[in-house]
Structure 1
Amino acid sequence: MFNLIVRNTDWKTGRANMIAGRALAYTSDGLKQQFQPEGNLALDDLAKLPCLFMQEGIRYEEAYVGHITRHQMTPKGVTFDFTLDRHIGPLPNFALYELRSALGIDDDFEFHHTHWAVKDEDLLHVVLRMYASRRSRPNVFALADFANVDHCLVSAMMPFAKDFSDVYDTIREAAKTFRMNCQRADEIFENRSVMQDIVNLIDSSRVVVCDLSGRNPNVFYEAGIAHALGKEVILITQRLDDIPFDLRHIRNIVYDNHAEGRKELAKKLIATMETVLSR
């Protein structure tokens, strides 16, 4: 059992407040009776429970595990001091969102709504599951502890050459069929290292399309990263011989780089994406 306290605030300050009307929102009737007998909050009992202090949102916002140390009921609500467990967190909200059922969060609106709920689940057990799912860190580029996938993002791994501009446009049009955006690494300038931009793009993509035409070594490397990260990878090529032996067992799309060939490529991409997105 734990307190889930959601507010758009800086939890590192050690003090916060909650409007009385938001206390025990999204809490089961049985727990409400236990912690609000006769309409009065049992703050001493609530303070004995571990707390998940969460900022509002489901992306890069942060949450912390801790305990309430002091509390006071005021005319406006509850003011409380707390400590954060320095051995845990901060925990990214997108990772908590993936485990929302295990946290007893049945309504997505809880991530966006200021409130104080009591959940009957084991908070520390869920946090241990999160840490067990952390990924090992590579030495040549940075990788976030937890995957953060944009389910509306398709990335295209291909040579940065004019000959592939129309092919890239074809991939983007296929993605639009599913109301998804498509990006290529040369459109991103967030890091000094191009490789870091590429890894970030792959890591956040729902689908990765890799064009192996011409046996470009960079694209092979990027396809390997995408496979290692468990992405849905679609292999395309202008020549079947450009696909190495280790990848021949994976379904691929062979296309011709002219107007009619790209139309056929679009049809096959849409059919393949429809399959992988349904998984």
Structure 2
Amino acid sequence: MFNLLVMANGWSGRRDELALGRVYVDAALGPQWKTGDLPNFDLMRRLPAVFSPENSRFEPDQVARVGEITSTRLQGSNVVVEYRYDPDIPPIPLDDLMALAPALGIQVPRKGFGPFEHSHWAIKDADLFKVLLTEWRRPIRQPTVFQLATPQRVRPDLLSAMMPFAGFGPVWDAIQRAATANGMDSGRADNRWDHPAIIQDVVALIDEAAIVICDCTGKNANVFYEMGIAHSYGKEVIIITQNAADIPFDIAHLRHIRYLANDQGIAQLEVDLTARIRTLRT
């Protein structure tokens, strides 16, 4: 979750005032976000924040900033907000932020005033940093071994599997059932042929997926390579294996799901994957 704060004429960079009536708390978020008739500012300050100017056609180079709210106090009918920007996150062009709106849980109507056309403060139920890491990148990614789509398009309902093919049919079936149970599609490189080179299909599948499952069983070099790509893209990676000794030393500290290759083990793998995917999706 994060705070979205939009201000006419932009933000000063340290302290600003906003009308208390423009602080919107959706009841669907739960009663904890209100203290009596007022927003629960103590709880809201714990969330990261995006400080955006109102969209103006007269200012072509508008940018938003990511930061944190350090204090709030009521002053008449206004709330005074003190804040600081995160120096490690560069300014986000407003056009880019608006393009990210669906991934950030920001509803932009086709007609009328949208969230970037009026000053307000609202809580959005999305993982701000995950979206910025996976869907907004500066500079543009330009690897030399393969090509990446520009701009990146991540499918929130796509799960991909990086695994050995031969002899792993029951494992793949369990992965597909776990994905379906969570409302997700599942993909594997051997059932995709969009490019002449298979590595391009593999990379595209990783790039588009929201969750990547990597089976390290047998110390498969291809899987290790693909898992490294998934980690570098900031994907949610679920590591599975039949043997803990097959997990490379560099990632041995990461949690994994261990399963047995018999009927009971595959059934338990499906249960474990279903639960883990559900956790990542909520």
* TM-score grouping bracket, smaller chain normalisation: 0.5 to 0.7
Structure-2 separation of matches of 1:51 and 1:250? 44
| Aligned equivalent of 1:39 | none
Amino acid in structure 2 at the alignment position of 1:136:
R
Structure 2 residue matching 1:214: 3-state secondary structure: coil
Structure 2 residue matching 1:174: 3-state secondary structure: helix
Amino acid in structure 2 at the alignment position of 1:138:
P
Superposed CA deviations along residues 11-37 of structure 1, whole A, max 9, x for unmatched, are: xxxxxxxxxxxxxxxxxxxxxxxxxxx
Amino acid in structure 2 at the alignment position of 1:214:
G
C-alpha change, 1:91 and 1:276, in structure 2 (3 Å) is closer
C-alpha change, 1:271 and 1:132, in structure 2 (3 Å) is closer
Structure 1 residue matching 2:218: 3-state secondary structure: helix
1:49 aligns with 2:49: no
Cα deviation for residue 188 of structure 1 reads 0.9
2:277 pairs with one of 256, 260, 273 = 273
C-alpha change, 1:92 and 1:48, in structure 2 (3 Å) is closer
Cα deviation for residue 206 of structure 1 reads 1.1
Structure-2 separation of matches of 1:256 and 1:246? 24
| Aligned equivalent of 1:76 | none
Q: Alpha carbon RMSD of aligned pairs, Å?
A: 3.4
Kept after mapping to 2: 8 A contact 1:134/1:145: no
C-alpha change, 1:195 and 1:114, in structure 2 (3 Å) is farther
Superposed CA deviations along residues 53-93 of structure 1, whole A, max 9, x for unmatched, are: xxxxxxxxxxxxxxxxxxxxxxxxxxxxxxxxxxx9x9798
C-alpha change, 1:250 and 1:131, in structure 2 (3 Å) is closer
| Aligned equivalent of 1:119 | 117
Structure 1 residue matching 2:230: 3-state secondary structure: helix
C-alpha change, 1:244 and 1:50, in structure 2 (3 Å) is same
C-alpha change, 1:234 and 1:132, in structure 2 (3 Å) is closer
Structure-2 separation of matches of 1:48 and 1:173? 48
Structure 2 residue matching 1:147: 3-state secondary structure: coil
1:194 aligns with 2:198: yes
Q: Give % identity.
A: 37
Amino acid in structure 1 at the alignment position of 2:263:
A
| Aligned equivalent of 2:264 | 260
Return the index of the structure with the highest Cα Rg: 1
TM-score, normalised relative to structure 1: 0.57
| Aligned equivalent of 1:126 | none
| Aligned equivalent of 1:214 | 218
Structure 2 residue matching 1:197: 3-state secondary structure: helix
| Aligned equivalent of 1:155 | 160
Structure 1 residues not aligned, in runs of 5+: 3-46, 53-87, 102-106, 122-128
Q: How does 1:49-68 map to 2 (within 5 A)?
A: 49=58
Cα deviation for residue 276 of structure 1 reads 2.0
Amino acid in structure 1 at the alignment position of 2:189:
A
C-alpha change, 1:132 and 1:224, in structure 2 (3 Å) is closer
The structure that is helix-richer by fraction is: 1
Structure-2 separation of matches of 1:187 and 1:92? 34
1:142 aligns with 2:142: no
Amino acid in structure 2 at the alignment position of 1:209:
I
C-alpha change, 1:139 and 1:153, in structure 2 (3 Å) is same
Structure-1 separation of matches of 2:252 and 2:143? 27
C-alpha change, 1:198 and 1:94, in structure 2 (3 Å) is farther
Paired residues, what number? 184
Structure-1 separation of matches of 2:229 and 2:204? 11
Structure 2 residue matching 1:151: 3-state secondary structure: strand
Cα deviation for residue 234 of structure 1 reads 0.4
| Aligned equivalent of 1:44 | none
TM-score, normalised relative to structure 2: 0.56
C-alpha change, 1:222 and 1:93, in structure 2 (3 Å) is farther
| Aligned equivalent of 1:165 | 169
